[in-house]
Amino acid sequence: MTIRKTLCILLLTVAASHLQAQDTTLLNMLNDSLAVHKGKTYVTGTFKAEHIINAQTVESPANGNLNFVIQHRFGQLNSGAYNFFGLDNATLRLGLDYGLTDDLSIGVGRSSYLKTFDGYFKYKILKQTEGPQMPFTVDILGTITNYTQKDETKPYLDANYRTAYSAELLIARKFSRALSLQVTPTYLHYNLVPTVADKNDLFALGLGGRMKITKRMSVNAEYDIVPKNQVVSTTVHNSFSLGWDIETGGHVFQLVFSNSQSLVPTQYLTQTAGTWGKGDIFFGFNISRNFNLKKKR
């Protein structure tokens, strides 16, 4: 009996050890599987609208969404009381942006400034994640513009001469719920420039940010730098703009102050002639309204 009891105890001990090891192996396999399939948490709402002020942000319409944008700038504040400090004059851009996917969007627009048509595509190549995996959101943005305003002194200006292009890399980071910053290196090409001394290919750098002050309000700033000796025949100043965003349900309303009157990158980056110091400030607003055109499943 003693030998039997001893053998039984040994067998039970070995079986228990085997089961414990098997349980541990299964638990490790489960943990490894969860680690492999653990989904990334992407950062959302880096900016609340598709424009910081003049420049586009890394935000774009979701798949099947249509965004209607109105960008309005009055005349210069220093134009005097006769022009009601710029309110008698205005520049307007109407735009439609559509999300082909959550990462790819296209858009078209028409500006009253030089009667300009524009079209663009924007593609998100990287997304900021919670944690250290990806610290930035990165979009590529390509724009084509064509101005149609007649110039009787230059009848040779056909559509080809009036066309310009820009390619931008939008690099943004949401540092906290309150603060987001964006850097935008930009390449521009003009089919026709004013003189042979001016360059057809130019480079610019945009800096912008958003600081949230309440749940539905934020202040925005944007500064665009064009290195000297690229535009020689005319005086060009860096574009500087300030804005106040108000989010109201389905749309975002932005109050804007800028020394740039034009509203597309091939114009406001290289055609800003005014300065804040002289009161060459254009007051205006941006309004964006989002519509979901795709039925929910």
Residues above pLDDT 90, as percent of the chain = 65
d(CA 107, CA 112) in angstroms, rounded, equals 17
d(CA 51, CA 260) in angstroms, rounded, equals 15
Contact 86, 76 (CB under 8 A): yes
What pLDDT was estimated at residue 146? 96
What pLDDT was estimated at residue 164? 97
In whole numbers, what is the pLDDT of the chain averaged over residues? 87
Torsion angle of the four alpha carbons 123, 129, 133, 138, in this order, in degrees rounded to the nearest 10? 20
Provide the 3-class DSSP secondary structure of residue 36. helix
What confidence tier does 94 reach under pLDDT thresholds 50, 70, 90?
very high
Per residue in 248-282, pLDDT (tens digit) is: 877 889 999 999 999 999 999 999 998 999 989 99
What pLDDT was estimated at residue 35? 46
**Measuring CA to CA, how many Å separate 95 from each of 43, 63, 69, 100, 119?**
26, 18, 5, 16, 9
Task: Kindly report the number of other CB atoms within 10 A of residue 200's CB atom.
Answer: 11
Residue-range domain boundaries for the chain: 65-292
Q: Which CATH number fits domain 65-292: 2.30.30.280, 2.40.160.40, 2.130.10.30, 2.40.33.10?
A: 2.40.160.40
Contact 286, 51 (CB under 8 A): yes
For the question of whether the overall pTM of this predicted structure is more than 0.75, the answer is yes
- 23's enclosing H/E stretch is helix 2-37
Contact 236, 272 (CB under 8 A): yes
* Averaged pLDDT, 61-82: 91
Residues 6+ apart with CB under 8 A from 28: none
Residues 6+ apart with CB under 8 A from 56: 50, 120, 122, 141, 168, 170
Per residue in 218-231, pLDDT (tens digit) is: 999 999 999 988 98
Per residue in 11-66, pLDDT (tens digit) is: 455 444 554 544 444 445 444 444 444 568 999 999 999 999 999 999 999 999 99
The larger pLDDT score, comparing residue 152 to residue 288, is at: 288
Task: Kindly report the number of other CB atoms within 10 A of residue 223's CB atom.
Answer: 15
